[in-house]
């Protein structure tokens, strides 16, 4: 078995603060939810179902509207199997085979996969050391001297 929960405090290069909580085993959890807050409004992408692909909705709220409103994205979502992961993996396999046959790179590529692995390793190192880990573009990593987690 592996880790099923992560709680990260991040600071992007632009100075934007990010709080990220991820659980792959939250009994009766609220599903998938991304929340973005800014001076002019809020945007939420959520999916209260256990499906990894279907069931998403996008909501937007502004100072003028004073509430979250669903943004109609139409019904352009692909028809999915009972388990949405089958559709996603099938699409990735098709794109990979096409990439190999044509020689034209597609995304996500191995570069994006490596970047995800570097981010995961930086999070683990931060946890183990109890300090912030500075991860530069291109994967170069160095510990930020003396900074500890709040």
For 10-19, how does the pLDDT look when each residue is reduced to its tens digit (9 = 90+)? 888 888 888 8
Pairing of strands 131-135, 141-148: antiparallel
Determine the structural domain holding residue 103 and report its residue range: 78-132
14, 32: one domain: yes
89, 66: one domain: no
The tokens describing 27, both together, are 């009994």
Give per-residue pLDDT as tens, 32-42: 888 999 889 99
Residue 41, CA distances (Å) to 60, 61, 71 in order:
7, 5, 14
Residue 35, CA distances (Å) to 18, 32, 44, 64, 137 in order:
10, 10, 5, 19, 24
2, 61: one domain: yes
Contact 23, 35 (CB under 8 A): no
DSSP state of 87: H
| CA distance linking residue 45 with residue 32, whole number of Å | 8
Contact 131, 122 (CB under 8 A): no
CA angle 53, 37, 146 (to 5 degrees): 100
60, 108: one domain: no
What backbone phi and psi angles, to 5 degrees, belong to 48? -75, 0
| CA distance linking residue 28 with residue 39, whole number of Å | 32
- Overall average pLDDT of the 106-119 stretch: 88
69, 95: one domain: no
User: What pLDDT score was predicted for residue 75?
Assistant: 61
Give per-residue pLDDT as tens, 134-148: 887 765 555 555 443
Alpha carbon dihedral 87, 1, 49, 10, in 10-degree steps, equals -100
Q: For the chain, how many structural domains are there in total?
A: 2
């Amino acid at each position: 078995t592996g880790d099923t929960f992560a709680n990260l405090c991040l600071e992007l290069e632009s100075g934007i603060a990010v709080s990220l909580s991820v659980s792959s085993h939250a009994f009766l959890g609220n599903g998938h939810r991304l929340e973005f807050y800014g001076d002019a409004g809020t945007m939420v992408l959520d999916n209260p179902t256990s499906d990894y692909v279907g069931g998403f909705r996008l909501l937007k709220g502004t100072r003028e509207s004073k509430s979250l409103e669903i943004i109609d994205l139409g019904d352009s979502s692909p028809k999915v199997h009972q388990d949405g992961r089958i559709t996603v993996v099938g699409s990735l396999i098709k794109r990979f085979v096409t990439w190999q046959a044509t020689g034209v790179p597609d995304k996500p590529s191995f570069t994006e996969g490596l970047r995800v692995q570097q981010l995961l390793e930086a999070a683990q190192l931060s946890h183990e050391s109890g300090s912030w880990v500075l991860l530069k573009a291109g994967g170069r990593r160095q510990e930020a001297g003396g900074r500890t987690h709040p």
